[in-house]
Amino acid sequence: MSQNAPYVLDMKAGIYTWCACGLSKNQPFCDGSHSATPFRPITAHITEDKKIAWCGCKASNKKPYCDGTHAKIKS
C-alpha cells in the first residue's frame, strides 16, 4: 500500500501505467520499482481529460481505479 486513500488527479487523455506493487516513488504511477517483485503495472487508456481517482491502497477490485475498498482496510 502506498497510501490508504485514492490519488485524485486531473488527468489529460493519454496512456498511463499505474503502480501495482506500491514501491514507486512516483505514485500512483509506475517508476520501474516492481522489477524485483511479482507485480506488474496496469496500463490505463484515458480517452478524455477528466478527474481520476487512482487506487492508492493497491487493493481495489477495479484496479487501477479506486472502488472504495480502502475504507475496509485497517491502517
Distance between CA 23 and CA 11 in Å, rounded? 22
21 part of the interface to ligand FES, by CB under 6 A: no
41 part of the interface to ligand FES, by CB under 6 A: no
Q: How far is the CB of 18 from ligand FES (least distance, A)?
A: 11
Phi, psi of 38 (to 5 degrees): -80, 0
Q: Which of residues 44-63 bind ligand FES (CB under 6 A)?
A: 55-57, 59-60
- Between residues 30 and 57, which has the closer beta carbon with respect to ligand FES? 57
Beta strands in 1-75 (DSSP E): 7-11, 14-18, 42-46, 50-54
- Do 31 and 45 contact (CB within 8 A), yes or no? no
Footprint of ligand FES on this chain (CB under 6 A)? 5-6, 55-57, 59-60, 66-70
